[in-house]
Chains A and B, each alone.
Chain A
Amino acid sequence: MGTHVIKMPDIGEGIAQVELVEWFVKVGDIVTEDQVVADVMTDKATVEIPTPVSGKVLALGGQPGEVMAVGSELIRIEVEGAGNYQEGASKAAAPAAPAVASAPAPQPQVEAKPVVAAPATASEHRAAAIVPREANERPLASPAVRKRAWDAGIELRYVHGSGPAGRILHEDLDVFLAQPTTHTQSAPGGYAKRSDAEQIPVIGLRRKIAQRMQDAKRRVAHFSYVEEIDMTALEELRAHLNKKHGDSRGKLTLLPFLVRAMVVAARDFPQINATYDDEAQLITRHGAVHVGIATQGDNGLMVPVLRHAEAGSLWANASEISRLANAARNNKASRDELSGSTITLTSLGALGGIASTPVVNTPEVAIVGVNRMVERPMVINGQIVIRKMMNLSSSFDHRVVDGMDAALFIQAIRGLLEQPASLFVE
């Protein structure tokens, strides 16, 4: 029997640290070759780590949420034969010892699972009679019970004590953990008060999102601009194209049209399709239009990038958007697919509301938000007519984009969308 050690692989260019997101195995599990053992994440790409060997898991190198150095030990597997690891010998070979991994601030060693979902192993189901305790009366419990309650995030004053003198026993905690509602008391109206709380560690993608959003809001001088667009003509064109080519070329959503409008408008507004490096004090105006498509994944917001939107046809862009959105939703988008956008488009579809204030996807300087399309009575030439109306809510980095330019850019998009032919007439 030997030991095989899998080290944290280098999954991004020049990335020294990788966050461990999730384990799919635990110590003692038998794994087979190519089985995925963990998810790790850099920047915004989540990568699955498979095992190249079969064997038994001996040790895990970190906790979910821990930031680990590339090259540090990720998992140790007992294998048939020699393995790749010998006690002592590896020290010289691997200068980046696992200890480096936990070098930053003490990571709360919180388990990622919610506390209320603790194993429901309480053998007996006790009647949840509530022992009345005075408001400021100290719950009676031994130090071991108190410590266990702290660790599990339980307020002991909500726990019934079944021991002598109302002492809270370990069994009482078992019951409390198994029945998260035992401590609720029915109010006269039949509704129950809830005092349970679920603590969710901010790790993985959520932590990245939190950092990026905080950073964007702190650095960028946001301003938002909302304009109303008459989509009737474009919708007629879209329905026509879908009817004619839908079967052969795929259905078109609004997004490829919006992308096309942004591409065409950007030609006259290079300051909008730009990125701003505020540390180097440098604005880069991009010829290419790489459009970030904000996408809701299972775990949170991702922004996959439609590359060279200026070169793609309507249908080519449509199918690429659809492919990217699926990859992002399933957390399988590559790092390349998640970076390098020059402007971002965000749409909540039917949930779009009437206006929104999108957050600029730094280092970009503009983000175009799409609101819900509805039929409204409009006055045209003194007549009330029903038109399909939709708002665009867009935000800009006011440090480098003037209000006038932003307004003109959106007005250009409006003109293009309201006269759809102009989208394609060069």
Chain B
Amino acid sequence: MQNLTTTLLIIGGGPGGYVAAIRAGQLGIPTVLVEGQALGGTCLNIGCIPSKALIHVAEQFHQTQQHSQQSNLGIKVQPPTLDISQSVAWKDGIVDRLTSGVAALLKKHGVQVIHGWAKIVDGKHVEIDGQDIRIECEHLLLATGSSSVELPMLPLGGAIISSTEALAPRSLPKHLTVVGAGYIGLELGIAYRKLGVEVSVIEARERILPTYDSELTQPVAESLKKLGIQLYLQHSVEGFDAASNTLQVRTENGEQLPLATDQVLVAVGRRPRTSGFNLESLELKMNGSAIAIDARCQTSMRNVWAIGDLSGEPMLAHRAMAQGEMVAELIAGKQREFNPTAIAAVCFTDPELVVAGKTPESAQQDGLDCIVAQFPFAANGRAMTLESKSGFVRVVARRDNHLIVGWQAVGVGVSELSTAFAQSLEMGARLEDVAGTIHAHPTLGEAVQEAALRALGHALHL
């Protein structure tokens, strides 16, 4: 048996794990990272990045399709065709470039990467499955991420797929039914629809994107209708008959509704990956299905740390990265705490949706007296030139001192506004600060300034 000794051992090479490793390397902490699949984790391989690539392909195809029918812009083209294997190869190329980039960064910072499945022996020892390697560490960082939740009545296989398979299609189905109208289900459902697939979406609750408020999701709901996506709200799935390609659905009234479909995408959420590497032997304190952590990402066992999806909501790559960076600094002896003012969340639906900080509702729950103001993209010149007038920017600010406590936006391309939102929240900006900043014209960002102006009672373009 080969025995290795290190200061920091990281299990999981996703955004949380690899960022922690890079930062640890910068700080001179001897670090070993164990990854069983590919560096970059869910995010780079089967999540954020490939889905954005597929969404881009779908959007390009969809635009061309639109132009081939009737174009307000005066563009005349023949109806396009799609070589989906070429699309997937292009996407794989991006993923390869990014994952090999991660490998190069880890190497540059002196991190030892071991490819294999970690098996925890105790809080200080980890073995690698089938490789006869035993690693002793001073600090153990758990960054194993999450996996798709499966439904017992829809076991994966054949026509039943998860987002992983949906992001690497060999061919496109004629009809796809998406179970779950959360952001993963809608991002992929919209993309498939734009690629020409008939798409139905089934959601057990009464509206789409149930974690966001209805005002914000309204433009997305309209877009689904316009794209011709069939929405079944308050419907639940009961099973799939593979012989007849029929999905058994129960309506809100309890009636049976058989839906013919070629493929079923199960996108009902993700759960922390806590099993398969003997984590249970540590008997760490849990927070529901996640590992319980404190403000320093410490678990209930000394010098055992947990970051990212494994530690529960919000399951966002950028949260995991920030936590990973912090843990490395803590191990290096610095004083740190994970207390961001806001972690922005983005849905790459059409239109896009972004939230940062408090919503009007959550601010009220926190007992804050707030001004809420929104500025519609219908009054924004840049949005018109992008053929997208739906959506708005909304600001939530304290009435007493005008401190901005939250931003939300929905509209084409608003994901990039998340930067401005998060920055203003972290800097403690007031409405006057944003209103007094000259925003370049013509940009979507002008709507940010106008929302702040409107909250102050003097929007200029409304």
Chain B residues whose C-beta falls within 8 Å of the C-beta of A83 in the assembled complex: none
- B3 → chain A closest CB, angstroms: 17
Tell me if B401 and A166 are in contact (CB < 8 A). Answer: yes
Q: How far is the CA of A38 from the CA of B164 in the complex (A)?
A: 60
Q: Which of A138-152 contact B (CB under 8 A)?
A: 138, 140-143, 146, 150-151
The reply to whether B427 and A106 contact each other, CB–CB distance below 8 Å, is no
User: B341 on the interface (CB 8 Å rule)?
Assistant: yes
Q: Given A106-B29, A140-B403, are A164 and B335 also a contact pair (CB < 8 Å)?
A: no
Contact of A142 among B332, B398, B428 (CB under 8 A): B428
Closest CB in chain B relative to A140 CB, distance in Å: 4
The chain B residue sitting closest to A99, CB to CB, is B28
Cβ-based interface call for A92 (8 A): no
* With A150-B334, A151-B335 as contacts: A141 and B428 at CB distance below 8 Å: yes
Specify the chain B residue showing the minimal Cβ separation from A102: B28
B333 adjacent to A107 (CB under 8 Å): yes
Assess A108 versus B333: contact at CB under 8 Å? Given A140-B403, A140-B428, A165-B402: yes
Given contacts A140-B403, A163-B428, contact A153 B335 (CB under 8 A): yes
Q: Is the CB of B335 within 8 A of A165?
A: no
CB <8 Å contact, B427 and A142: yes
Q: Across the interface, name the chain B residue whose C-beta is closest to A201.
A: B333
Q: Which residue of B lies closest to A149 (CB)?
A: B335
Q: Taking CB as reference atom, which chain A residue is nearest B340?
A: A143
Near A by CB (< 8 A), chain B positions 367-418 give 398, 401-403
A165 vs B428: C-alpha distance in the bound complex, in angstroms?
A: 8
**Residues B333 and A109 in contact, CB atoms below 8 Å apart:** yes
Which listed residue (B335, B426, B430) contacts A150, Cβ 8 A?
A: B335
Q: Could you mark each residue 312-337 of chain B with 1 if its beta carbon is under 8 Å from any beta carbon of chain A, else 0?
A: 00000000000000000001111111
Which residues on B sit within 8 Å (CB–CB) of A109?
332-334
At the interface, yes or no: B7 with Cβ under 8 Å from chain A?
yes
Q: Within 8 Å CB of B433, what residues of A?
A: 164
Within the assembled complex, what's the spacing in Å between the Cα atoms of A164 and B427? 11
**Would you call A280 an interface residue if the criterion is a C-beta within 8 Å of the partner chain's C-beta atoms?**
no
Chain A contact surface mostly: loop
A107 to B7 Cα, complex, angstroms: 11
Let me know if A106 and B401 touch, CB within 8 A.
Answer: no
Tally chain B residues at the interface, Cβ within 8 Å: 24
Interface: A407 (CB within 8 A): no
Q: Is B138 an interface residue (CB 8 A)?
A: yes
Most buried by A among B27, B332, B334, B432: B334
Which of A102, A108, A142, A166 is B426 in contact with, Cβ under 8 Å? Answer: A142
Contact of A105 among B138, B336, B428 (CB under 8 A): B138
Tell me the complex Cα distance, A138–B337, Å. 13
Report chain B residues within 8 Å CB of A105. 7, 138
Give chain A residues whose Cβ lies under 8 Å from the Cβ of B333: 106-110
CB pair B432–A164 under 8 Å, yes or no, is yes
Among A141-188, those with CB < 8 Å from B are: 141-143, 146, 150-151, 153, 163-167
Residues of chain A from 106 to 144 with CB closer than 8 A to chain B in the complex: 106-110, 138, 140-143
Interface contact B7-A165, CB-CB below 8 Å: no
Closest to B29 in A: A106
- Which single residue of chain B is at the shortest CB-CB distance from A110? B333
Known A-B contacts A143-B426, A150-B334; A138 and B341 likewise in contact (beta carbons under 8 Å) = yes
Chain B residues contacting A142 (CB-CB under 8 Å) are 426-428
In the complex formed, the residue of B with least CB distance to A153 is B335
A165 close to B401 (CB less than 8 A): yes
12 pairs of residues in contact across A and B, judged by CB atoms under 8 Å:
A105-B138, A107-B333, A109-B334, A110-B333, A140-B403, A140-B428, A153-B335, A164-B428, A164-B432, A165-B398, A165-B401, A165-B430
Q: Which residues of A are interface residues toward B (Cβ below 8 A)? A: 102, 105-110, 138, 140-143, 146, 150-151, 153, 163-167
**12 more CB-based (< 8 A) A-B contacts, given A105-B138, A150-B335:** A102-B28, A106-B27, A106-B331, A109-B334, A142-B428, A150-B334, A163-B428, A164-B428, A164-B432, A165-B398, A165-B428, A166-B401
What 6 pairs across the A-B complex have the smallest Cβ distances?
A108-B333, A165-B401, A150-B335, A165-B403, A140-B428, A167-B428
